[in-house]
């Protein structure tokens, strides 16, 4: 059996000895280096399974070594050893690709957890039991979705906090679950939390737990969601809804990797991978004084933006087919196909509710359709979607410049008359009646 090997880089002999002894008790061998140059020689000589490096070294920095490893040994997990309280350096290291960090003085329990997680990653860009891109629930053949699935694989290999942005219904929780499932914590719990659904006076108790008698109704000790997610991933959805008082405690939990239950005298160490999300613009929330700037800096180490459905209309056909197959399986019948005109209508619709709205539309159409094929009339698409007021530089579109359309060619491709096409466009609200040209156009 192969004995794991770690490279430990630090110019303090007592730190090297402490880490080497701790690793030895874990049956992990260690080679050491005092400088960046020596670390590079050890890398070439030994090809270790893990690297632990201090940020400040006599002949350079740990970031320089991290960049060297990322270029020449991309599969090697690197963890940074940082000065106590120097979170800015830790954040910078994780943005540069570090797997995780441990602060001085080194907490041996945290070090052991870090090493175990890193070694599970070694030699596997994607865990063997994790979904591949083709099997991912984040469906779509568009360039945007292919890039997102590739980025999720990379994000799964680091413990850096991830902030997922995107409109409601774009699949932020699905993305968070994929990051968890493809990472070394996949055997641990995935705990999703909708911050907006927790009453403000109970947020701290829900997140961090409480002691018996700490407030009215606290009849017993209770672990919080941080404790429930230990060894796994905590997903904080709609993070912008957290009250400022809870944001302060959340910031400390991220920085110190420990929480203090309400009414407790001591903090409790927690081992949690944090992923957060919001459909709001957190930078604007910071400007408006509703979100702490220091917390935003901590949680936004790596941002994953999920595109709106209207930004990838080429994926609508695949998504619709998948949804219709699932609906058919739930009702134990053959899936209903979409007519060409119904599919065209879906591709033209702006979907302010994104994939979630597409699911609702198709579920309704399946229930109401009386034919063997879903027609455009079965979709009941609103002429003015909720929340859509017109054209905008970044917002949904409902009305498109009809002068740019080649309606005869579109009608021919759909196998219908131009008059029929014009009638359907008006009915769908894609163009006003006044812009409908005569059938001979």
Confidence (pLDDT) at 389: 43
DSSP-derived secondary structure letter, 404: G
Kindly tell me the number of DSSP H helices and DSSP E strands found in the chain: 18, 14
Distance between CA atoms of 152 and 179, rounded to whole angstroms?
6
Give mean pLDDT, residues 27-33.
88
Reported as a pLDDT band with limits 50, 70 and 90, residue 166 is very high
What pLDDT, on the 0 to 100 scale, is given for residue 278? 93
Q: Output the average pLDDT for the chain.
A: 83
Residue given tokens 């998504």 in the structure block: 319
Q: Per the structure block, which two tokens stand in for 369?
A: 């359709």
Q: Taking the alpha carbons of 95, 97, 103, 108 in that order, is the dihedral positive or negative?
A: positive
pLDDT in tens, 298-353: 998 889 999 999 999 999 999 999 999 988 888 778 889 999 999 999 999 999 99
DSSP H or E segment with residue 62:
helix 62-72
Alpha helices in 86-210 (DSSP H): 87-95, 108-121, 143-156, 172-181, 203-208
Q: What average pLDDT does this structure show over 71-84?
A: 84
Q: Is the pLDDT of residue 127 over 90?
A: no
Q: Are 328 and 335 in contact (CB under 8 A)?
A: yes
Q: For position 74, what pLDDT does the model report?
A: 84
pLDDT band at 357 (very low <50, low <70, confident <90, very high): very high
Task: Check if the beta carbon of residue 39 is closer than 8 Å to that of residue 7.
Answer: yes
Long-range contacts of 229-232 (CB under 8 A, 24+ apart): 229/188, 229/189, 229/190, 229/191, 229/270, 229/272, 230/188, 230/189, 230/270, 230/271, 230/272, 231/185, 231/188, 231/189, 231/271, 232/180, 232/185, 232/188, 232/189, 232/190, 232/191, 232/272, 232/273
Distance CA 425, CA 205 (A): 53
Model confidence pLDDT, tens digit, residues 390-426: 333 333 333 344 465 677 777 666 667 777 777 767 6
Q: Which residue has the higher pLDDT, 130 or 58?
A: 58
Q: Which domains does the chain have, with CATH numbers?
A: 5-121 (3.40.50.2300), 133-305 (3.40.50.300), 309-390 (1.10.8.60), 399-441 (no CATH)
Q: How far apart are CA 315 and CA 245, in angstroms?
A: 42
The percentage of the chain sitting over the pLDDT mark of 70, rounded to a whole number, equals: 85
Please tell me the predicted confidence (pLDDT) of residue 134: 39
Q: Cα(309)–Cα(347) distance, rounded to whole angstroms? A: 10
Q: Are 79 and 114 in contact (CB under 8 A)?
A: yes
- How far is residue 150 CA from its own chain's centroid? 12
pLDDT at 291 over 90: yes
Are 259 and 226 spatial neighbours (Cβ–Cβ below 8 Å)? yes
Strand partners, 193: 236
pLDDT of residue 92: 80
Q: What percent of the chain has pLDDT over 90?
A: 37
Q: How far apart are CA 287 and CA 232, in angstroms?
A: 32
Q: What is the DSSP string of 290-354?
A: SS-HHHHHHH-SEEEEPPPGGG-GGGHHHHHHHHHHHHHHHHTSPPPPBPHHHHHHHHHS--TTH
């Amino acid at each position: 059996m192969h004995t794991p090997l770690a490279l430990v880089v630090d110019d303090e002999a007592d730190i090297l000895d402490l880490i080497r002894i701790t690793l030895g008790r874990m049956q992990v061998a260690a080679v050491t280096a005092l400088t960046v140059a020596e670390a590079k020689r050890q890398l070439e000589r030994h090809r270790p399974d893990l690297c632990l490096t201090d940020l400040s070294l006599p002949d350079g920095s740990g970031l320089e070594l991290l960049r060297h490893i990322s270029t020449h040994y991309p599969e090697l997990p690197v963890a940074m050893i940082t000065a106590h309280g120097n979170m800015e350096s830790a954040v910078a290291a994780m943005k540069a690709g570090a797997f995780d960090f441990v602060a001085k003085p080194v907490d041996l329990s945290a070090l052991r957890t870090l090493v175990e997680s890193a070694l599970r990653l070694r030699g596997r860009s994607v865990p063997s039991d994790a979904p591949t891109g083709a099997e991912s629930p984040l469906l779509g053949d568009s360039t945007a979705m292919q890039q997102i699935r590739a980025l999720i694989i990379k994000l799964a290999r680091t413990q850096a906090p991830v902030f997922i942005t995107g409109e409601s219904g774009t699949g932020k929780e699905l993305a968070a679950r994929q990051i968890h499932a493809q990472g070394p914590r996949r055997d641990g719990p995935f705990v999703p939390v909708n911050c907006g659904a927790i009453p403000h006076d109970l947020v701290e108790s829900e997140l961090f737990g409480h002691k018996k008698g700490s407030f009215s109704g606290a009849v017993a000790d209770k672990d919080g969601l941080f404790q429930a997610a230990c060894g796994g991933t905590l997903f904080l959805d709609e993070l912008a809804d957290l009250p400022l008082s809870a944001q302060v405690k959340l910031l400390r939990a991220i920085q110190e990797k420990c929480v203090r239950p309400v009414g407790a005298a001591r903090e409790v160490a927690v081992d949690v991978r944090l992923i957060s999300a919001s459909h709001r613009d957190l930078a604007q929330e910071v400007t408006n004084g509703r979100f702490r700037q220091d917390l935003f800096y901590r949680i936004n180490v790596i941002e994953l933006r999920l595109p709106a459905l209207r930004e990838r209309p080429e994926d609508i056909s695949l998504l619709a087919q998948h949804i219709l197959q699932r609906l058919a399986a739930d009702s134990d019948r053959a899936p209903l196909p979409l007519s060409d005109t119904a599919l065209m209508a879906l591709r033209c619709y702006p979907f302010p509710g994104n994939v979630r709205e597409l699911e609702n539309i198709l579920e309704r159409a399946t229930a109401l359709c009386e034919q063997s094929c879903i027609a455009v009339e079965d979709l009941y698409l609103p002429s003015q979607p909720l929340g859509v007021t017109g054209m905008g530089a970044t917002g949904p579109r409902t009305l498109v410049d009809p002068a740019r359309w080649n309606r005869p060619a579109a009608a021919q491709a759909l196998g219908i008359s131009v008059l029929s096409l014009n009638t359907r466009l008006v009915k769908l609200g894609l163009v006003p009646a006044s812009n409908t040209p005569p059938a001979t156009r």
